[in-house]
Amino acid sequence: MSLDYILTILKPMLQGSQMTLLLFIIAIVLSIPLGFLLTLAVNSSIKLLSLLAQAYIYIMRGTPLLLQLLIICFGLPMIPGIGQYLVLDRFTAACIGFILNYAAYFAEIFRGGLLAIDKGQYEAAQVLGLNKFQTTVRVILPQMFRIAIPSLANESVTLIKDTALLYAVAVPELLHFAETAVNRDFTIVPFFIAGIIYLIMTLILTLLFKWIERRFTFE
């Protein structure tokens, strides 16, 4: 096994990793705020909104992400009448699937964070004259976010690994190039390299979250 060989297959695999990373970044940047909005909806005093949000979260968490991706990529275009307008580019479709799915998980994480905040915090804010908006933004969110960081870190690592599901909807990503090389060259080395690339990505992510956690430790 030569170093040359590794270098040759590394190039397409790193290109594939770009797809992986791109999906990861788009998914995390959009699903965290969406998840937060869902949390607000669940806690809303408008009963219908709350029920809808809860149902959404239940469905998204209760069915496989793969199934959701398949429905968005291949199912939607089959809907009679409107299907022809729902044909999306595979990568776009996958991004939508990941965002919608992960938002539900992040919503649950944030909800847990909210539940952990003592009601005395709301009372102190009220007596000091803060309105609801000020209380949410200045008092509740920072604490909720702090409580949520470890779970957010966990979920983000899962997200990195879940990007491999792109393989199933035929978007060429890291795993796809690894498999192509395995079949062509009849060696499993590309799989190991893929594993190492995933490990490096999760390691960087974990370190990043550790740093964020330290920054937001109030001591």
Partner 1 sequence: MAIMEVTNLKKTFGDLEVLKSITFDVQKNEVVAVIGPSGSGKSTMLRSLVHLEKIDDGTINIDGEYLVNKGAYASPSDLKKASTKMGMVFQHFNLFPHLTVKENLEMAPKLVKKVSAQELSRHSMELLEKVGMADKASAYPSNLSGGQKQRVAIARALMMQPDILLFDEPTSALDPELTGEVLSVMKELAKEQMTMIVVTHEMGFAREVANRVLFMDQGEILEAGTPEEVFDNPQFERTKAFLHRNLK
Residues found near partner 1 in the complex (CB under 8 A):
118, 120-121, 123-130, 134, 138-139, 142-143, 146, 216, 218-219
Q: CA torsion sign, 190 to 191 to 196 to 201?
A: positive
CA distance 108 to 66: 20
CA distance 213 to 219: 12
CA distance 166 to 77: 18
Taking the complex as a whole, how short is the minimal distance between the CB of residue 117 and partner 1, in angstroms?
A: 10
Tell me whether residue 126 or residue 158 sits nearer to partner 1 (CB atom).
Answer: 126
Tell me whether residue 13 or residue 125 sits nearer to partner 1 (CB atom).
Answer: 125
Taking the complex as a whole, how short is the minimal distance between the CB of residue 135 and partner 1, in angstroms?
A: 10
Tell me whether residue 15 or residue 134 sits nearer to partner 1 (CB atom).
Answer: 134
Tell me whether residue 139 or residue 193 sits nearer to partner 1 (CB atom).
Answer: 139
Q: Which token pair is 43? A: 């806690």
Taking the complex as a whole, how short is the minimal distance between the CB of residue 210 and partner 1, in angstroms?
A: 19
Q: CA torsion sign, 10 to 13 to 19 to 20?
A: negative
